[in-house]
Amino acid sequence: MGANLTGANLFGADLTHAKLNGARLSNANLFGADLTAARLNGVRLSNANLTNANLTHANLTHARLTNARLTNARLTNADLTNADLTNADLTNADLTNADLTNANLENCRYSETTQWADGFTPPPLIASASNSE
């Protein structure tokens, strides 16, 4: 089991190449954090704020991102295999070349400007909070 960082304030933190496999980061504030190439296998990020975070090349296999806010997040080339993104907010997120194999995107929110991997068909669009105001 990884570190318990539940509710941690990691606003703008440089976590490039961090090894946080199995960490508990539920309710954490990772606004603007740099998680480039971070190892986040099985990490718990439920209800975490990842707005403007850079998750390029991050390994998020089996990660729990339920209710996570990923608005404007960069997830290019991220591995989200078997990740749970139920109710996550992907408004304006960039998932170019991300691996979403077996990822659960049930009730996730995204915008028309959310960028998906080529050939990936997202679930039906649910309006994000910013789109409904």
Helix (H, G, I), strand (E, B) or coil at 129: helix
Q: Please, which residues have CB within 8 angstroms of residue 118's CB and are 6 or more apart in sequence?
A: 97
Sign of CA dihedral 10, 33, 69, 40: negative
According to CATH, the topology of domain 1-133 is Pectate Lyase C-like (2.160.20)
- Give the list of residues 6+ apart from residue 10 with CB closer than 8 angstroms, or none: 28, 29, 30, 33
Average pLDDT over residues 109-116: 96
Average pLDDT in the chain? 95
pLDDT band, very low/low/confident/very high, at 127 (cuts 50, 70, 90): low
More reliable by pLDDT, 81 or 123: 81
